[in-house]
Amino acid sequence: MTDGTLPPLEVELVVAGPPAHAFELWTARTALWWPASHTVSGDPARIVFETAAGGRVYEQGPDGAEHPWGEIVAFEPPRRIAYWWHLFFDRAEATLVEVTFSPDPDGTRVRLVQTGWDALGDQGRPRRDRTAIAWDHITGLFALAAGTPTN
């Protein structure tokens, strides 16, 4: 980009079923598809997206300990969720993740956009590149759990 800013990280996929199903799977049944390897405890008992702006995103380990992942900015079922995201990082290094769920002829179009890389300084580009690989894997697991559309 010519203005020196890092572009948003964008992932888009289509899953089977209506937006309400995809939204609920993303926000309320996350532990069904989120990889344990990408958690703090390695074996979460629960992954929680609190259901209002200002709410928390966290995992609860098998010992009951809570591990913060982020904070909810917008919670608009079944259309949109946005949250500050700092899984594995200090809160000061949070980036903004927005996930939208739109009707599609084949089910639901899920679009994830993550921004805020420039605030990380020299670590912005490498973190964005690593995160792109992680989201590719994680959204693939989400798609499997949601079901892929059939034609």
Tell me the per-residue pLDDT of 84-96, one tens digit each, with 9 for 90 and over: 999 999 999 999 9
Domain limits, the chain: 9-146
- Counting as low any pLDDT under 50, the low residues of the chain are 1-2, 151
According to the model, what pLDDT value does residue 2 have? 38
CATH architecture under which domain 9-146 falls? 2-Layer Sandwich (3.30)
pTM of the model: 0.94
| Residues 6 or more apart whose Cβ sits within 8 Å of residue 105 | none
